[in-house]
Amino acid sequence: MWRISNIRAPRVVVAGIESGVGKTTIAAGLMAALRRRGLNVQGFKVGPDFIDPSYHTAATGRPSRNLDTWLLSKSKVVSLFKRVMLGADVAIIEGVMGLFDGISGRSQTASTAEIARLLKAPILLVIDASRMAGSAAAIVKGAKALDKGLRIEGVILNKIAGEAHAKMCGDAIERFTKTRIVGAIPYNPDIALPERHLGLIPTHERGEIQEKLEAISRFVKKHIDLDTVLEIAGKAPRLSSVSFEREKIADDEERPCIAVAYDEAFNFYYWDALMLLEELGARLVFFSPLHDNTLPEGAAFIYIGGGFPENFAKQLSENWGMINALKKAVEDEMPTYCECGGLMYLTRMIIDFDDNKYRMVGVLDAETRMTRQLTLNYTLANTIRDNLVSEIDEKIKGHEFHFSAIENIPKDARFAYKMIRGKGIVNGMDGWILHKTQAQYTHLHLAANRKRAEKILAAAKKSARR
């Protein structure tokens, strides 16, 4: 048992008043600029997003972590934060959507505001000031009045037209709200991060990311007072002690190998979930469905997360070595767990936005069609069949986020989950089960419930002994 007391953990939340105000660019720029000062910076993202944390990781050199009170209990969020902060000098926590946007209009569950309260973290409020001046004060005053328990300690004005514009906004905010202006950033399309149908393009696909982050870092350093940011972060109160225990890890030859798909096409994973599998005794070996022809030697379990297989469908379809290896592994009853992009990859084909058809692994007798309809939900499901991660009647929480649909599903297809909240694959069902394979649209956070990771490990150990 490890016990660490009196954690300092300087921290600040970068929150937006709405989506699209530039939170990710500013948060990543702050992380990169502070790292260049020689600090160990830890990035966090509020919510279930996989893409924004990839920019944090590139900026800090430390894996970014998700803080989400739908996927994880409040106590797990706090303990995760405290544990990850060991060895870090400062945390930059990027919010999700607007500051108060949660799971519903009646609840702030899973909102940035809830995370800020849980962690007792001061807030830097980012405002797109491009179409306002003195009215910016009303926004800040309203945010502070809506929840007086929050500590909005500073404002960053984004997309300002010049010094006179910044002064008009800043004078009004300081006069009516007594809140400091920490930065005023001119509009600059050269530092904007590129987007596509699911949001920003992950850093795994962007070879020039360090060059881009360097440019953003320089721009942020010029227009944001980093000393004030650190001063505000340093005012966060100390956190109580954290206790955790590490499993006794077996020798490599006794640890089952879990093959994890990880490349440009598949990279949506929660780092804490992967670390939990390792701590429980798994040996994680990463492989690429795009570039490798075979599965890792000794693989006993396959884990294919989400990503953008639709953007790499041609390359995936041409890698027959990997397609055949995966098909044989599934048909030979190797336990295989897939989420979203992994589900799509196991179908017969992906039909892209332009109706081009690309053959995939084909173990699931259906097709994936890309659509213009966004499916975006936090999910809740009841387990109706024992499966790789949950047991009958167990409720599971997750999220779904995609622009695709699974078509021509056999009538006798078996499913693990009945959706209570969310869409699933078809008719409110999710978790397609075939052989010892489970494929679903729902993304789970394995660290939410230790028993889920333990079930995966047990399946891997059993498979390794065959």
Give me the helices (H) in 149-254, please. Answer: 163-177, 209-223, 226-234
Longest pairwise C-alpha distance within the chain: 72
Beta strands, E only, 31-105 = 41-46, 65-67, 90-98
The answer to whether 92 touches 30, Cβ cutoff 8 Å, is yes
Q: Do residues 262 and 426 touch, judged by C-beta distance below 8 A?
A: no
Are 440 and 383 spatial neighbours (Cβ–Cβ below 8 Å)? no
Per-residue tokens: 395: 């409720």
Tally: H helices and E strands in the chain? 13, 24
Q: Classify the phi-psi angles of 408: left when phi > 0, otherwise alpha if psi is within -120 to 50, otherwise beta.
A: left
Integer Cα distance of 282 and 457 in angstroms: 7
β-strand partners of 384: none
Contacting residues for 37 by C-beta, under 8 A, at least 6 apart: 226
Nearest Cα to Cα of residue 183 among 23, 42, 43: 23
* Catalytic pick among 169, 257, 338, 340: 340
| Alpha-carbon 354 to chain mean position | 28
Cα→Cα distances 380→76, 418, 423, 429, Å: 18, 9, 10, 11
The residue among 26, 32, 456 whose CA lies nearest residue 223 is 26
Catalytic status, residue 257? no
Q: Which residues have C-beta within 8 Å of that of residue 165, sequence separation ≥ 6?
A: 129, 133
Six token digits for residue 160: 């300002």
Q: What are the distances in angstroms from CA 449 to CA 73, 207, 276, 398, 456?
A: 9, 35, 10, 12, 12
Q: Are the beta carbons of 352 and 391 closer than 8 angstroms? A: no
For the annotated catalytic residues, the residue numbers are 340
